């Protein structure tokens, strides 16, 4: 598929989001004409068995997971590194952030790039956060699990020829191009419900480390571009 339907995305403020949500159902019909697309067209697979972003200006669902699912982000100082890095990419690398959620051992993003360099931006984001978090763990005198975590990251790095020493993130981002508002809404609700399913909060908007607050009329930790077309599909 060459790209998204021109009607697919509309970026707006929360007030505009509510206005779009109030439009007649007939106006939403145009959003569904790609719904029967084969999922293989939404997931781009590299020849080496990993995943690769083909349409670098389109909206993608991305997952970063810590090796061995170590719950690094249970501590604020480590997750703050991810948040500040996302802010930098938004400001200086043309990253459009539509949705996000940081859990204890993985990060979900719904993102787009104005520069057409989404793969490169995500690569740099992973590289910087990886080295910075590992160095912060090393320097953290209060970190009771320091030796255990560094041992795991060291062992993971030894198994991967791409790393000189440690490996923090798992290799694949598992990107999915979000080709329809229905699929986008599915992924947006999925990441917002992660903390609920984990038993951390009762309602998605009670969790500070996601965009659930932004989509419920509150202010989140990061500026975002609202996916109002997708959210207009809510009942």
Note the pLDDT tens digit of each residue in 142-151. 999 999 999 9
Split at pLDDT 50, 70, 90, the class of 55 is confident
Average pLDDT over residues 80-106: 97
Average pLDDT over residues 14-43: 31
What is this structure's pTM? 0.76
The alpha carbon of 27 is separated from its chain's Cα centroid by a whole number of angstroms, namely 29
Instruction: Give the model's pLDDT for residue 232.
Output: 57
**Chain mean pLDDT for the chain:** 79
DSSP category for residue 104: S
CA distances for 151 relative to 14, 59, 138, 166, angstroms: 45, 36, 11, 9
Q: Compute and round to an integer the Cα radius of gyration of the chain.
A: 18
Query: What is the architecture, at CATH level 2, of domain 14-231?
Result: 2-Layer Sandwich (3.30)
Pick the more confident residue, 105 or 2. 105
Average pLDDT over residues 68-85: 97
What is the C-alpha to C-alpha distance for residues 225 and 204, in angstroms, rounded to an integer?
A: 19
**How many CA atoms are closer than 13 Å to the CA of 161, on its beta-carbon side?**
0
How many residues in total does the chain contain?
Answer: 235
Q: Report the candidate in 188, 210, 186 with the shortest Cα–Cα distance to residue 200.
A: 210
DSSP category for residue 1: -
8 A C-beta contact, residue 58 and residue 111? no
Instruction: Give the model's pLDDT for residue 1.
Output: 30
Instruction: Give the model's pLDDT for residue 230.
Output: 55
Pick the more confident residue, 199 or 227. 199
CA distances for 176 relative to 34, 61, 109, 138, 164, angstroms: 15, 5, 11, 34, 29
């Amino acid at each position: 598929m060459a790209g998204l339907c021109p009607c697919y995305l509309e970026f707006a403020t929360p007030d505009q989001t509510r206005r779009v949500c109030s439009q007649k159902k007939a106006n939403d019909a145009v959003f569904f004409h790609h719904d029967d697309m084969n999922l293989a067209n939404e997931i781009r697979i590299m020849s080496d068995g990993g995943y690769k972003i083909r349409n670098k200006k389109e909206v993608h669902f991305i997952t970063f997971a810590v090796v061995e699912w170590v719950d690094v982000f249970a501590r604020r100082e480590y997750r703050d590194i991810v948040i500040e890095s996302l802010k930098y990419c938004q400001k200086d690398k043309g990253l459009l952030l539509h949705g996000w959620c940081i859990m204890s051992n993985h990060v979900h993003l719904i993102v787009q790039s104005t520069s057409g360099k989404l793969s490169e931006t995500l690569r740099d984001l992973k590289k910087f956060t990886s080295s910075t978090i590992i160095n912060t763990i090393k320097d953290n005198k209060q970190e009771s699990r320091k030796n255990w975590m560094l041992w795991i990251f060291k062992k993971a790095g030894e198994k991967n020829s791409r790393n000189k020493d440690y490996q923090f993130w798992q290799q694949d981002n598992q990107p999915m191009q979000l080709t329809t508002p229905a699929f986008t809404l599915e992924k947006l609700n999925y990441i917002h419900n992660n903390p609920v399913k984990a038993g951390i909060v009762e309602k998605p908007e009670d969790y500070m480390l996601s965009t659930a607050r932004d989509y419920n009329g509150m202010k989140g930790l990061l500026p975002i571009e609202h996916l109002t077309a997708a959210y207009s599909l809510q009942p």
